[in-house]
Structure 1
């Protein structure tokens, strides 16, 4: 039986004029037993008041339904069913109203408040890249705005240019992406329940004309995240002007520079980092040169003879940026006593510079690169960089004269240690300086937010006095005091987004060198000494978003070391450093929680040495806080502490040659069986404030207690290494003013480094050779015109 419901003499269509909604028609077949739930109901209700829809259902089906009028008041029904059972029709009417029904034992239906269901979440993950090069953009700001509420939610991209936003309610969202030097991008994302939306956003470059600067800290969301590390951008490494994207040939010949670009000298601009004079190396916050790691794309760079201040280990044109991590660095960055210097390769040329060349006093630098795929969707990029020394073509007179003066043999040492074959030359000998290096790097986007990254670096160097003697002298009577070495690194890794919450990576790397050096006076056999080192590792890791304010990271690395590198001095053990082999397995984990303006990071490293059957732990912690006040403006503070060990020991051994041309030679070897790992404890703090627009004030302080170090045992004959302890502490103040065309900065640093070695200098504390207590620096960058 079918009937039309009527109201006030009219067919009950529930017209909008009467009810504020669309028409509702209820047709019901009258069963003899309404409780049997065998009725079939056809119902259309669009915006009908819930009470009217229920009354119509009761009137035509005689369903025993009871409810409180106050419970249904103000609720609206949206429903459409076609010949469905009675209970399904009732459920359809109640859908979306927040009400539910319960059938009592008597058969009566009662309306109740619906139990709140757990929300069904969606998620968004993606990658932000340069539209022209395909390179990932670090620290890009990703803001997601809910369409219905306008409530924003933001995150910054990782070092791989990736981001993740879990726990999103379904619905339309507006995604806004921005980065300094790029045009802002906006798009609409439809988030679905139980689904992860994946996007790749390519930002178009928007040149910002400014003088090359050194940026102190990564530009991320908050001031606090700029603390604890410093960044050298590509322009600061090479001191080159911005590219011209309109160049149709994309070929750039840069003007010759009066100074050879060097990574070490560029790092000297960072607070807490000191690059020594002449052939010395870089020191990080009072640490020895052997106490920090220098990595290229995650692989350690092993350079046995430092020519820092003269030429760097590779061309700066091969690098996109260098990050220095100082006291209190996190568990995921390794086991080192002082700090970590991480260089990243250029994987694509800048826009408008497919081919770049520059001539400096000592070398010719060339970089060539390209990309594959459409401009709006780059699939792969690559860059090749080469550097060729020009010493054989042109020797700068002043530099050549200075180096020659350092080759004059020391008559006293020769007489005391006995080396009659060394000729007498008070003015020294001509020096040869040869170097060639090549660097290749690239990345490929594999789809599905996966990418493949790889790089290879190889270099050959020669430095010193080669084959000097009277004319027509036999080869075995010629004097030689030269160092020749070949070194290189290589790495390959895959990165991907795992679900809505995790970034993962896995890769392998290798590094090594081969050194041929002259023997030490009185310390070895005649002829050259050859040393080789090879280190390789496999690394994997994952970053997980446990919640919007809770992140976890974990990683595992297996390292194998193989080396034969005898180092010697008068009275040294005969086989010091020879034939070493070692394995290590390290794991790291960090938990980062943000509570309001504070972020707490707790982490630890665990390292297993199979040869020793020993496990070592390195707990670490850091606290960051962001604040603001009327007088100081936005400000941030960082506190960090931890334990730091070093398992691949780097030892700088004073050169025992007849001349002071090369002050020392560096050797790498695994931890000796009889020695415990070098150990240090860090305590660091840093404050940054921006009191007014354009002004930045910063301060940092550190304390490093080193209860156990390993140093060359020059006076011993039983073991090549001796135990020592050290202490380093310092304070730095920085003031900076920026305007549209001007940057003015001033820095004061106070630093102390002390060491104590038993049986040396009365076992007293003595200043470290690199100790520099006071240091003032100022910098002025001006660009009076937009392109000057």
Structure 2
């Protein structure tokens, strides 16, 4: 072996020897520490200080939670070389003990008695989700724990709770459509957290749609539920440039309007009166303006919208088709904000501002101005010098306000007010037509109409968090609907009719609801509600057939009904894929029997984050029927009446079920399909569908007389709905399809088979595409659907009267709704430009209604003639360019 090789081997031996020496010393250090003499002499000192002395003397490491030793004190006198004995001396009387986990390392744990006194070992992750710019709470926000694949959705107060978590730090993702997702780390076991989400914007006032959402398996279990934030709804098509909630809801599958651009909402084959509209927890009975052209719900005044189609949880009842929850804005808690808007129909404003650190307010108003443009009164004069004044006054208005106060994290109070109505004042020639030149003259025969109708409500809400597992909400409200119809007509030189008809419905209610967050897998909701309803109607009429032949009619109708409701609902999440929601609603309406309404919904994730299946079934009861008189012109020209169930009429009852499949193959793509079926009993249909208001006097306004014009019937609705939704900046595409039937049958009228309902639409397709880039926005929207049913006569016959010179022709219509109007289709366009000027944000919008000027047939009448039948079609609106201007400070 060479000298060089010996040197290399000696060098390796030296290195190994040095490493062995270091290992020996390292291993021996703990042994020497344990055998070292330990001296402790402390009297009533903080335990943390005594433990630090022991660590300094021995070199050992102690692991413990600060909460275990907080406020603990130690008294100990020890001298020796055993670490375990020294620890036992220090921990004497503290209900703690030391456990050795490895050489030189100990952990302090609590005994069973100590754990009972210091609280559970598990923690609770809870808090509120708020808008970072305005301070508004965000109901429906998603809070998700990616590591556990568990999550929660914030309630109406923006509160969430994830209980029975191990006390540790967790990765948390908070998301809400239209806001940047928040990824953070939170500790389970502390006080409720406040999480702030930032709205994501691009350019000047252009809202981007954030595609990051809660995984599908953590969304609502109830089928047909849509929770959409207001910034998203504001970008959906809305005629005629108004920020109108009901106009945008018709783009959802299963929702349509009963008219071309006006009329009530029809949800899954139901009727407009089968929908419940809630504004800050209080019901709105007539949410329409301009003869159902636009709604009373201004999208900009809300912070959250939730729509239940067909199936809704046990906390809601009293309707059969749908429930719409709208929450007004609390007001900007960070800085004042003002918005002004001018549309073709109305002018509007919104003002919101903080008051103090914990309070804010919002106020909004809207009024139409057509009466100001064309004038309300028109003096006219004929060639003989005779003068008269014609009137063409009409306007609608809305006023809403909200005051919110949050004295602390656990308390929140709000006071909401809304008032809105319509005012119609007409005096026109009796034979008026669209020939406006004929109006501008005095008339011997004329009619006058003074119609006023509207809603008013006050709602007080107190939300309280007594413990982090309990959330209590109390709502007290007063809601009323009033309509007045003053009518005067002079059909001949000697005859005249004058009437004054009023309708008043008032609700006084209170609801207390408590949520208990037991564990991650169990959540319970209990609630009780009491509502006192008052129904009043009056009629004062004077019918003059000749100068000395005068009849008067004075009637009063008043009813009261008390509804008491108790409901319970339990949510069970056994795994990350399964969720079950079972509920029961018990209600009693006056002296009627107790009605039970079971509800069941289930959700199963077929593929995590991509495909989810939902199933819902339940029983629903509606105690109120909406009717109108079908005979007289003296009253009930515009207003409808709500008739309570009682001895003469049973409440409407429906069983309905739905199955829904939702898929998200990409974060920006959502596919949704639903099958539904509803079976309904005790709905009311007219006994004479062809009855016309051709008489001056009617049978009266008594409830029994009105019910005598209707008959109980059966109804069923079934169909399929599909939605394709793409939110990928700068594009947004929305395609919804619905196909199904809505059928009625009245056995009392001799009907043996189902017939199409009034608004039965077998097929409908809605679509729009929107492109947004910087300051510009361009959109195309289209609608294609089947025509509404119509009754086609099958024969014409004549009846002779000896006193009449000519026979009278009649049409024979044995089957109701045996025909159908032509298909309806329309394309709209919208171009918007946003810019900054004078320190404000401006938006100019051009909305072109019916871009191709296709005049759809929206109604068809048949009139007999001496030689046959004449068909009269009423067509829809032509092409209408509409301009809107909006300014925001």
Q: TM-score, normalized by length of structure 2?
A: 0.65
Matching residue within 475, 486, 497 for 1:507: 475
Determine whether 1:229 maps to 2:220.
no
Cα distance change of structure 1 residues 317 and 176 upon mapping to structure 2, 3 Å threshold: closer
SS at match of 1:303: coil
Q: Is the 8 A contact 2:161 2:517 kept in 1?
A: yes
Residues 288-317 of structure 1: CA distance to partner in whole angstroms, max 9, x if unpaired? 111111121121112297646523225443
Q: Which consecutive residues of structure 1, in runs of 5 or more, have no partner in the other structure?
A: 1-13, 30-41, 51-56, 64-75, 100-112, 242-255, 397-428
Offset of residue 260 of structure 1: 3.8
Determine whether 1:601 maps to 2:581.
yes
- CA distance in structure 2 between the aligned counterparts of 1:127 and 1:169, rounded to whole angstroms: 21
Cα distance change of structure 1 residues 765 and 16 upon mapping to structure 2, 3 Å threshold: same
Offset of residue 160 of structure 1: 1.7
Q: Is the 8 A contact 1:645 1:678 kept in 2?
A: yes
Residues 421-444 of structure 1: CA distance to partner in whole angstroms, max 9, x if unpaired? xxxxxxxx9753211221102322
SS at match of 2:373: coil
SS at match of 1:720: helix
Residues 74-121 of structure 1: CA distance to partner in whole angstroms, max 9, x if unpaired? xx9596466897xx79x97x523499xxxxxxxxxxxxx999988533
- In the alignment, what sits opposite 2:504? 532
Matching residue within 168, 173, 190 for 2:165: 168
SS at match of 1:266: helix
Residues 456-496 of structure 1: CA distance to partner in whole angstroms, max 9, x if unpaired? 11123123633657999899x85123421232122110112
SS at match of 1:697: strand
Structure 1 stretch displaced more, 549-558 or 163-172: 163-172
Residues 120-169 of structure 1: CA distance to partner in whole angstroms, max 9, x if unpaired? 33334321212332211233343569xxxx87864332232111132233
Q: Is the 8 A contact 2:537 2:557 kept in 1?
A: yes
Cα distance change of structure 1 residues 456 and 21 upon mapping to structure 2, 3 Å threshold: farther
- In the alignment, what sits opposite 1:450? 411
Q: Is the 8 A contact 2:726 2:732 kept in 1?
A: yes
- In the alignment, what sits opposite 2:308? 325
Structure 1 stretch displaced more, 296-305 or 503-512: 296-305
Offset of residue 275 of structure 1: 1.2
Q: Is the 8 A contact 1:156 1:221 kept in 2?
A: no
Cα distance change of structure 1 residues 489 and 15 upon mapping to structure 2, 3 Å threshold: same
- CA distance in structure 2 between the aligned counterparts of 1:488 and 1:595, rounded to whole angstroms: 45
- In the alignment, what sits opposite 1:66? none
Q: Is the 8 A contact 2:281 2:475 kept in 1?
A: no
SS at match of 2:420: strand
- CA distance in structure 1 between the aligned counterparts of 2:650 and 2:111, rounded to whole angstroms: 65
Matching residue within 603, 618, 635 for 2:597: 618
- CA distance in structure 2 between the aligned counterparts of 1:544 and 1:217, rounded to whole angstroms: 31
Q: Is the 8 A contact 2:458 2:478 kept in 1?
A: yes
Matching residue within 399, 404, 415 for 1:438: 399
- In the alignment, what sits opposite 2:757? 768
Aligned ranges 1:359-370 → 2 under 5 Å: 359-370=342-353
Judging by fraction of residues, say which structure has more strand.
2
Q: Is the 8 A contact 1:134 1:379 kept in 2?
A: no
SS at match of 2:219: helix
Cα distance change of structure 1 residues 741 and 154 upon mapping to structure 2, 3 Å threshold: same
Offset of residue 213 of structure 1: 9.5
Q: Which consecutive residues of structure 2, in runs of 5 or more, have no partner in the other structure?
A: 1-25, 42-51, 63-75, 103-109, 376-389, 431-438, 542-552, 692-697, 778-889
Offset of residue 650 of structure 1: 2.8
Structure 1 stretch displaced more, 342-351 or 261-270: 342-351
- CA distance in structure 2 between the aligned counterparts of 1:169 and 1:224, rounded to whole angstroms: 21
Offset of residue 535 of structure 1: 0.8
Offset of residue 284 of structure 1: 1.0
Residues 683-727 of structure 1: CA distance to partner in whole angstroms, max 9, x if unpaired? 111111123453332211111100221345669986532311111
Cα distance change of structure 1 residues 686 and 595 upon mapping to structure 2, 3 Å threshold: same
Q: Is the 8 A contact 1:647 1:678 kept in 2?
A: yes
How many residue pairs were aligned? 659
Aligned ranges 1:486-635 → 2 under 5 Å: 486-518=454-486, 526-565=498-537, 578-596=557-575, 597-612=577-592, 614-628=593-607, 634-635=610-611
- In the alignment, what sits opposite 1:417? none
- CA distance in structure 2 between the aligned counterparts of 1:694 and 1:170, rounded to whole angstroms: 35
Determine whether 1:641 maps to 2:641.
no
Offset of residue 537 of structure 1: 0.5
Aligned ranges 1:641-660 → 2 under 5 Å: 641-654=617-630, 656-657=632-633
- CA distance in structure 2 between the aligned counterparts of 1:762 and 1:568, rounded to whole angstroms: 38
Offset of residue 758 of structure 1: 4.0
Matching residue within 414, 421, 432 for 1:460: 421
Q: Is the 8 A contact 2:279 2:327 kept in 1?
A: yes
Q: Is the 8 A contact 1:215 1:230 kept in 2?
A: no
- CA distance in structure 2 between the aligned counterparts of 1:761 and 1:663, rounded to whole angstroms: 30
- In the alignment, what sits opposite 2:49? none
Aligned ranges 1:34-73 → 2 under 5 Å: 44=54
- In the alignment, what sits opposite 2:383? none
SS at match of 1:259: coil
